Amino acid sequence: MRPRTRTTGTTAGAAALALAVLAVLAVLAGCNRGSDAAGRIGIDVPRTDTDFWNSYQQYLEADLARGGPAVLPLANSQNDVGKVVSDVQALTAQGARAIVMAPQDTGAITAELRRLAAKKIPVVSVDTRPDDGPVYMVVRADNRAYGERSCAYLGARLGGHGRVAELQGDLSSINGRDRSEAFASCMKRKFPGITVHELATDWKGEVASAKLQSLLAQHPDLDGVYLQAGGAFLQPVLALLRQRGLLKPVGTPGHLTLVSNDGIPEELAAIRAGTLDATLSQPADRYAEYALYYARAALAGKTFRPGPTDHGSTIVRIENGLEDQLPAPLVTKDNVGDPHLWANQTEQGR
């Protein structure tokens, strides 16, 4: 019978050391896996000079903090399409295998999209649909519906007669074009008794305020204003109207009917205060959520087809890919307290 071997302190210490080494190696292996995945998604945020895009970035950061594939530090192209290109090239040089962007000039990004496609790097475009160049998915609300529904609201409130100013966005952007074309078409078709003054602004609040001030000097009988971007235009417009003694509460004589697009907390506060009639809530939270969702799906090799989704939207085919059109509800005094509105879920909106 073989004698039983007794474990000495030295042997036990060696075993413990071996286990510790294995544990460290396991941790390092996990870190290496994370490092291999690091930078798999590169994200360019288009700007930080509007409340809407600041909210979008905050939602992105919150979603990323909950886990998933690692992401390179966010880039910010500051509303400069040249910087979008340089940011994206820097991100891919650092190892990004999928790109999330929101090009504000949708006609100038084509060459970069083709470069990315040649490198088999899928692109998710948020809020804006590039005019040309392949995209894996566009995450966007129906911007033509913004123009049409804003027109329908203004036209109904004015009884089909009067004079309105339209503060247009940048017409080099598909969003500015879609909203402007849809608004004009709707007004011509449904409300021919309303005169529309189109004021191009390049999404700049100071330009919107200056042009509206000039229009009011010529036409003090203005009845309403359509703000294509509440995040950029709301505060300058309210300040101008207050300065001119034209900021009358909703429902009182002399009130200018105001409808905007974005759905930021300040717009909801203005609706509660009676200085803004309505806004269409552009879903900053869902833009962030589904931008990351589709970027991860692209990395996993998933494909999608047109039709209804399981998150209340519809995927449509576009010339250069697919577009997931997320819903954008109309907000008025009747539903401004809806807790499902993203702006009511922020600290400012509470």
Token pair in block for residue 9: 């302190």
Q: Are 100 and 291 within 8 A, CB to CB?
A: yes
Residues facing residue 317 across a β-bridge: 322
Closest Cα partner for 90 from 105, 104, 108, 73?
Answer: 73
Task: Give the right CATH number for 143-281 from 3.40.50.2300, 3.40.50.1820, 3.90.1260.10, 3.40.50.300.
Answer: 3.40.50.2300
- CB neighbour list of residue 45: distance below 8 Å, 6 or more residues apart: 53, 56, 57, 60, 74, 75, 76, 77, 102
Same CATH fold assignment for domains 37-141+283-326 and 143-281: yes
Helix runs in 192-329, H state only: 205-218, 230-243, 265-273, 284-299
**CATH class of the region 37-141+283-326:** alpha beta
pLDDT score for 51: 83
- Host H or E run for residue 177: helix 174-190
CB 289 within 8 A of CB 59: yes
Pure H helices in 191-229 = 205-218
The 10s digit of each residue's pLDDT in 242-255 is: 999 999 999 999 99
Contact in structure between 39 and 70 (CB atoms under 8 Å): yes
What is the pLDDT, as a whole number, of residue 108?
Answer: 92
Q: Determine whether 146 is exposed, middle or buried from the number of CB atoms within 10 Å of its CB (0-12, 13-18, 19+).
A: buried
What pLDDT was estimated at residue 207? 98
Q: In the numeric block, which tokens belong to residue 88?
A: 């994206």
Q: Cβ distance 105 to 291 under 8 Å?
A: no
pLDDT, tens only, 34-85? 333 444 999 999 998 888 899 999 999 999 999 877 899 999 999 899 999 9
Q: DSSP H helical segments within 281-327, as ranges? A: 284-299
pTM of the model: 0.80
Report the pLDDT value the prediction gives residue 107, as an integer from 0 to 100: 87
Number of H helices, E strands in the chain: 10, 14
* Matching residue, tokens 């909210």: 55
State the distance between the two ends of the chain, measured CA to CA, in whole angstroms.
Answer: 79
Domain boundaries, the chain: 37-141+283-326, 143-281
Would you give per-residue pLDDT tens digits along the chain (350 residues)? 333 333 334 334 444 433 343 333 333 333 333 333 444 999 999 998 888 899 999 999 999 999 877 899 999 999 899 999 999 999 999 999 999 999 988 889 999 999 999 999 999 999 999 999 999 999 999 999 999 999 999 999 999 999 999 999 988 888 999 999 999 999 999 999 999 999 999 999 999 999 999 999 999 999 999 999 999 999 999 999 999 999 999 999 999 999 999 999 999 999 999 999 999 999 999 999 999 999 999 999 999 999 999 999 999 999 999 999 999 999 999 999 999 999 998 755 44
Q: In what order do the strands lie in the sheet with 41-45?
A: 75-76, 41-45, 98-101, 123-126, 137-141, 321-326, 314-318, 307-308
Type of residue numbered 184:
A
CA distance 328 to 141: 6
| Residue 105, pLDDT score | 86
pLDDT tens digits along 135-146: 999 999 999 999
